[in-house]
């Protein structure tokens, strides 16, 4: 299944880069968020690959169009172009996200960053990174969370929050890097950052694949209530609560406790 997801993400990345190299036309969804033809084309490519599995697919652009599948215990979650704002800015910080959910938790996922020529995958056998050249994946390298070292953190480039200053102070943060899209999860997964606190709204397709990669690398993703971030939240229109992605469960719990205090 992970191989199929990887092929789908690579094919979607090719379509996205074709659009990226030309003038980009932007429109707005009903919620005011931007969307481009690259989002829509990439999603159609991914859906064609995943269709053969017969597993329901919760995909961002389909949901925006009102096409919400009936979700069982097993379903895919897809964001064909995460970081559309970064795509429009042409800073390269956008990703393709595909995850497989079982019993409300991501069990495997793929994140590719087409403009950076990088890809990440995670599942039961661990997490890996791989280079991408001309739409083809190169040799995989195992990745692992840091677990110690300088308290470097990563935060959203386009969605900051005043409470982040309190988190930085509480954990004596050595460095704070702002990055767009699910690439933030991958930075924690490969040991470049210790944690990623999120105080701004996200949807399930923004986080599922990154969570799968990070957890496969040894990290955790905890919601503001301290429980693992879960999926299939139809009652909340697939919106996530505030959360932290961390390289260690104990660190994650400490960050969440401080986030709760700052969010009150």
Q: Are residues 181 and 50 in the same domain?
A: no
Q: Are residues 51 and 10 in the same domain?
A: yes
CB distance 219 to 248 below 8 Å: yes
Distance of alpha carbon 205 from alpha carbon 168, whole angstroms: 27
Q: What is the pLDDT of residue 30?
A: 74
Q: What is the pLDDT of residue 155?
A: 86
Residue ending a domain, among 114, 143, 172, is 143
Q: What is the pLDDT of residue 158?
A: 57
Q: Are residues 48 and 72 in the same domain?
A: yes
| CATH code for position 16 | 3.30.540.10
Q: Are residues 164 and 137 in the same domain?
A: no
Q: Are residues 91 and 179 in the same domain?
A: no
Q: Are residues 162 and 134 in the same domain?
A: no
Residue ending a domain, among 118, 143, 168, is 143
Q: What is the pLDDT of residue 178?
A: 87
Q: Are residues 139 and 159 in the same domain?
A: no
Domain total for the chain? 2
Q: For 108-132, b where at least 16 C-beta lie within 10 A, e where not — what string?
A: bbbbbbbbebbbbbbbeeebbbbeb
Q: Are residues 96 and 47 in the same domain?
A: yes
The pTM for the full model equals 0.95
Q: What is the pLDDT of residue 159?
A: 54
Low-confidence ranges of the chain (pLDDT < 50): none
Q: Which domain holds residue 99?
A: 2-143
Residue ending a domain, among 143, 170, 185, is 143
Nearest to 183 by CA among 170, 193, 171: 193
């Amino acid at each position: 299944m992970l191989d199929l997801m990887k092929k789908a993400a690579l094919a979607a990345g090719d379509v996205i880069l074709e659009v990226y190299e030309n003038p980009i036309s932007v429109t707005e969804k009903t919620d005011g968020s931007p969307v481009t033809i690259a989002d829509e084309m990439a999603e159609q490519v991914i859906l064609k690959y995943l269709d053969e599995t017969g597993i329901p697919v919760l995909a961002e652009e389909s949901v925006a169009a009102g096409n919400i599948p009936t979700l069982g215990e097993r379903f895919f979650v897809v964001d064909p172009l995460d970081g559309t704002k970064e795509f429009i800015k042409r800073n390269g910080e956008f990703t393709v996200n595909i995850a497989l959910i079982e019993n409300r938790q991501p069990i495997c996922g793929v994140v590719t960053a087409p403009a950076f020529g990088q890809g990440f995958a995670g599942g039961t056998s661990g997490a890996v990174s791989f280079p991408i050249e001309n739409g083809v994946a190169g040799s995989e390298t195992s990745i692992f969370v840091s677990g110690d070292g300088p308290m470097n953190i990563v935060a959203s480039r386009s969605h900051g929050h005043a409470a982040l200053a309190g988190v930085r102070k509480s954990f004596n943060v050595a460095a704070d890097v702002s990055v767009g899209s699910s690439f933030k999860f991958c930075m924690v997964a490969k040991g470049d950052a210790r944690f990623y606190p999120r105080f701004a709204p996200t949807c399930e397709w923004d986080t599922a694949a990154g969570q799968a990669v990070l957890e496969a690398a040894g990290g955790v993703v905890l919601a503001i209530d301290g429980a693992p971030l879960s999926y299939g939240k139809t009652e909340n229109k697939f919106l996530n609560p505030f959360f932290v992605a961390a390289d260690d469960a104990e660190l994650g719990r400490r960050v969440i406790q401080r986030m709760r205090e700052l969010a009150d």
